[in-house]
Amino acid sequence: MNSVAVIDYGMSNLRSVSRALEQVAGNQWQVIISNQADHIYAADKVVFPGQGAIGNCMQLLQDTGLHEVILHCLLQKPFLGICLGLQSLLEFSAESGGTKGFGTVPGEVKRFAENLRDPQTGEHLKIPHMGWNQVQQQQTHPLWTGIENNSRFYFVHSYYAEPTNPAQIAATTHYPEPFASAVAYGNVFAVQFHPEKSQHAGLQLLENFLNWTP
């Protein structure tokens, strides 16, 4: 049986992610939550979910030895990053006083400005950006199969990724200006939103990931 490893580094929404994967996996996939390098290396695919502050995240990855494990998987396996799992791929984040990321996606992670307003209503937009928002697909990709453009996904974040290379931006979302809500290259796909909390569209994306052969 094929296996997909959900990386457990001590701070994340692991159970909701694993349950969503199990819902779409059927009898074809074994879903494993693990912080053990050998289990993760042995898996056919890897999911890296994250929530909280990126400084704590990257420190925990160093402390547990998972930093090198993730770098290996980013080069070798079909890889899905969720929330911090996207932001950590960039070179640098302004969060936590400045935090170095994995650097596989050139660019930076920036904080939303405090004075954001809806261009239509003038209403003040709260930080964090929390709730449902539309995702505009910027490239054709197998993980968008069966998902209509401008579908709504669930977000919770105060920082956003700004990749240097537009070709790596798989989707954008407006709050109120467009930001990269998904990136893709090679064997890697990563999203700012939470597919495990995004009902049908989110489950479809997770199923597409399991079916994906990059």
Report, as residue numbers or ranges, the catalytic residues.
83, 194, 196
CA pair distance 90, 113, nearest whole angstrom: 20
Residues 6+ apart with CB under 8 A from 195: 20, 82, 153, 201, 202, 203, 205, 206
57 three-state secondary structure: helix
What span, in angstroms and rounded, lies between the C-alpha atoms of 9 and 65?
A: 9
Three-class DSSP category at 117? strand
Q: Please state, in angstroms and rounded to a whole number, the distance separating the CA atoms of residues 188 and 46.
A: 10
Distances in Å between the Cα of 85 and the Cα atoms of 3, 101, 194 are 19, 10, 11
CA distance 89 to 56: 15
User: Which residue reads 């809806």 in tokens?
Assistant: 118
Cβ-in-10-Å burial (0-12, 13-18, 19+) of 113 comes to exposed
